[in-house]
Structure 1
Amino acid sequence: MTGLDESNPALARAFALIRDVPDYPNQGVLFRDITPLLADAAAFAAVIQALAEPVTDADVVVGVEARGFLLGAAVALAAEVGVVPVRKAGKLPLVAASREYQLEYGSATLELPAGGITDGTRAYLIDDVLATGGTLRASCDLVEQAGGVVVGIGVLLELTALGGRGVLADRAPHALLRG
C-alpha cells in the first residue's frame, strides 16, 4: 500500500495499523481491518484530520454503513458540520431514498433517512474503503435523489486493483491510502 502523503509520520503510523484478513467475508476476498487504527487515539486523530481537510464546502458529512459511520461522524465533528448516515435496508423508520447496488461479492440495498438531506444540501461522503465503487456510487445517487448535491468523497483506503475510481470518475474521490 502507498500513502498519498508519505511525509506525514502520523499517517504512516496509522496506515501500518491496518491489517489484512484473507478470505473474509468470502473466499478470495482480502478484508482490510481498520479496528487497530480506530483503537489507537493518535492514529485515529491523524486519519480524521486528514479526511476532514477537504470538507470545506459541505453542510453535512454522509457516513456510509458501517465503518463509514465511525469515520464520518468524527470527520463531521472535526469539520464542524452535521452528519447523516447511509444505512442498509430495513434499519431506518423513515426513508427518503433507497438504492440497490453491486458489491464485489454480491448485492445489497442502501437507504438514506428522511430529513437528513433536503434540496440543495451539500454533502461530503465518507467511507472506509473504495473497492469496486458500487457502495459510494449508490450513496451519491441517494443524496441526489433526496435533492442534495455531492461536493466530494473521501475514503481511508482505495483498493486500486478493483477499479472503483472509474465508477466515480466524475467525483474525483480523495483517498488517504492506495493499495
Structure 2
Amino acid sequence: MILPFSAGFGGFMFVIAVALQQGLRYGPVEAGLALTPMATTFFIASLMGPRLVSRYGNRVVTAGAVIQAVGIALLILTVQFSWTDLSLADLLPGIAIAGFGQGLQLPVLIRGILAEVPAERAGVGSGVMVTTQQSALALGVATLGTLFLTLAPSMGMGDAMVRTLALQLAGVVVTGLLSLRLPRVLG
C-alpha cells in the first residue's frame, strides 16, 4: 500500500508544481503557498492518528483514503471548471482535504509496516521501507509527470492536469481497497 500512496504523492507534487508555475504563471513562492494547506492538514491529521487508531484500528487508513479521494475529486472539479481563473483560494479546499486524508494514512501505514519487523531487524526493515517509499515517489514523478507533460501540449495544462489527477484518484481508490485487507490492529 505504500507503493500506490507514495507514487501518487510524488506524481501529484511534481504535476501541481509544473501546472501552477508554467500553466498559470505562479511564482515559486505563490505555488508553494498553494500547497501550504496540504502540509498543515497533513500535520494535524498525523497528530490525530494515534488516538483514532486506538479507537477505530486500521480503518483509519481506509477513512484517510476516502477523505483524500474527496479532496482530489474536488481538485478535479475545480481545475476542470476554473482553470483559466484559478486562484489560491480555489485550490484551498481540495488541497486541504486531500492533505488531511494523506495525513491519516501515511503514519499508520509506516507504523504497520515497521510493526511487522522483528526488533533485531528494525534497521533493515526501515531501510527497505524507506527505499520502497522513495522509489515509489520517483515512479510517481516519472509516470504521472510523463502523462501530464505528454498531454499538456495537445490539450492544455488544465485538461492534462484533470486527466492526471483522475489517474491519481484511481491510485487512491486502490490504496483504499487494499486497506480493507488490513487486520483491524497491526503489530
TM class by smaller structure: under 0.3
Question: Which structure is higher in RCO with an 8 Å CA cutoff and minimum separation 6?
Answer: 2
Q: Which structure features the higher share of strand residues?
A: 1
TM (norm. structure 2) is 0.23
Computing the radius of gyration from Cα coordinates, the structure with the larger value is 2
TM (norm. structure 1) is 0.23
